[in-house]
Amino acid sequence: MSPALPSLTVEADRVHGELEALAALVEPDLPGWTRTALGPVDRQARELVRRWMRDAGLETHVDGAGNIFGRLRGTGSGRTLMVGSHTDTVVGGGRFDGIVGVVGALEAVRALREADVRLEHDLVVVDFFHEEPNEFGLSCVGSRAMVGELTQAHLELRDEQGRTLADALATVDVDPSALLAARHDFTGVDAFVELHIEQGPYLEEHGSQIGLVESITGISRFRALFSGQADHAGTAPMDRRRDAGCAAAGTVLAVERIAGEGMQSRGTSGQLTFTPAAVNVVTERAEFRGEFRGPEAEWLRSAQDALTSAAQDEGARRDVDVEVEWLPLQEPMPMSGGVVSVLGDVVDGLGLSSTRLFSGAEHDAALMARAVPTGMLFVPSRDGRSHCPEEWTDLPDVAAGVTALTHSLVALDRRDPPPDWDGAPG
Ligand code: HGY
Ligand code: MN
Ligand code: MN
């Protein structure tokens, strides 16, 4: 039997106000609600989040990786619970992805304090730096650094202009050497919980208010480069061209074909460029980035082999040189069975309907799960849309998620001893 839930009030209007305030801090001249981590506005948003943390009574600090932490002291067990998400967005993104999890965690703190519910654990709210992938193909920069999986090789990744990730980070005041040293000490951390929008149609289609995430997708990202020969578009015979653009286009279609052959697998191409970018010149050089996702590491490895060989075939047919560079594969990550079952009991106790599901989206929780027992709560996304301006979750659904999150923190705090955190890697 779960203990009775304390009386806690989540104020949906406060959550709404903070969602609106962050939605106002966007990059001019870009579509949707764009606030990229390496762009000009993200810092302002993060300063605002830090101010909200202080206003909520948290002691704040920023680590070398740019992650913002706000600590609510507990009554003294010396142990910690962590909660949070991210506030950066993709280009042309929405107002909810990640942001709901940060403002939701802040509202949880306010609800606990106003109800005078003291936790034994310290509660640490995190706004993770730079969750969304950048033009270097790297995502979850802040949480990756926290779990010690960010390396010098990542910092040396280059964009198309030849700029390194380290150079780009310096422009937003993140010192690359501090980032490498930002490994977090997780001693005494009993659990991490992230509230997030689902970003897909499953909850809406099943009429569920809450999603209990069982595992998070694996991801394999690559950069493909094609080098051919520039020629005159009107005179170069079709059978003598070395058209790098056509080899790249064939490889983009191979991503779609390979992903279509797996179970619950996905494949996407983006950031395609042709050089020279002229309608009357055969393309000399083409480059694009792509990724595969899926619940099985074995399938991801086979997709890497299949794509590399498809790209080589596309190049060989046209005498185009091909290079495919893969980032280290990010393995699919199960959530802690123990944490998920605590979240499930809380959601049932609140009378909310729920479904267990797999996350095809990536999250800081997938990195945190490498270091600490982790669980995620999802709230529904209208029409399953996300990473677009139409991304939307109704305020009552957000509030239900924040209520579930707040009670989950209380339940995790009161578990003594902590449940059998099966599913968490040792
Ligand atoms: O790309 C993702 O899945 C996440 O939304 N960052
Ligand atoms: Mn996202
Ligand atoms: Mn997100």
- What's the confidence (pLDDT) of residue 416? 66
Q: Which fold has domain 12-217+332-414?
A: Aminopeptidase (3.40.630)
Which residue has the CA at smallest separation from atom 6 of ligand 1? 132
Cα-to-centroid distance, 305 and ligand 3 (Å): 29
CA dist., res. 117 & res. 350, Å (int)? 17
Q: pLDDT under 50 in the chain at which residues?
A: 1, 423-426
Question: Which of 35, 139, 194 for mutating ligand 1's site (highest number of atoms within 8 Å of CB)?
Answer: 139
Residues lying with their CB under 5 A of ligand 3, a single-atom ion: 97-98
CA dist., res. 196 & res. 371, Å (int)? 20
- What's the confidence (pLDDT) of residue 415? 85
Dump the DSSP string for 84-151: EEE----TT--S-TTHHHHHHHHHHHHHHHHTT---SSEEEEEEES--S--TTS---HHHHHHTT---
| Pairing relationship of beta strands 266-275 and 285-294 according to DSSP bridges | antiparallel
Residue 140 CA, closest ligand 1 atom number: 6
Cα-to-centroid distance, 67 and ligand 1 (Å): 18
Q: Which CATH number fits domain 219-326: 3.90.1300.10, 1.10.260.30, 3.30.200.20, 3.30.70.360?
A: 3.30.70.360
Q: Are 55 and 14 in contact (CB under 8 A)?
A: no
Rounded to the nearest 10°, the torsion over CA 194, 47, 36, 266 is 0
Helix (H) or strand (E) run with residue 205 in it: helix 202-206
| Closest ligand relative to 84 C-alpha | 3
| Ligand 1 binding pocket includes 362 (Cβ within 6 Å) | yes
Residues lying with their CB under 5 A of ligand 2, a single-atom ion: 97
| Ligand 1 binding pocket includes 391 (Cβ within 6 Å) | no
**Is pTM, for the whole model, over 0.75?**
yes
The model's pLDDT over 287-316, given as tens digits with 9 standing for 90+, comes to 999 999 999 999 999 999 999 999 999 999
| Ligand 1 binding pocket includes 361 (Cβ within 6 Å) | yes
CA dist., res. 186 & res. 348, Å (int)? 30
Cα-to-centroid distance, 200 and ligand 2 (Å): 12
Cα-to-centroid distance, 88 and ligand 2 (Å): 8
| Ligand 1 binding pocket includes 131 (Cβ within 6 Å) | yes
Q: Are 319 and 242 in contact (CB under 8 A)?
A: yes
Q: Are 269 and 186 in contact (CB under 8 A)?
A: no
- What's the confidence (pLDDT) of residue 421? 56
Residue with tokens 């009775």: 4
Q: Do domains 12-217+332-414 and 219-326 have the same CATH topology?
A: no
CA dist., res. 320 & res. 251, Å (int)? 12
Cα-to-centroid distance, 98 and ligand 2 (Å): 7
Residue 132 CA, closest ligand 1 atom number: 6
Question: Which of 99, 213, 363, 378 for mutating ligand 1's site (highest number of atoms within 8 Å of CB)?
Answer: 363
Rounded to the nearest 10°, the torsion over CA 426, 331, 33, 28 is 100
Domain boundaries, the chain: 12-217+332-414, 219-326
Main-chain phi, psi angles of 166, to 5 degrees: -60, -45
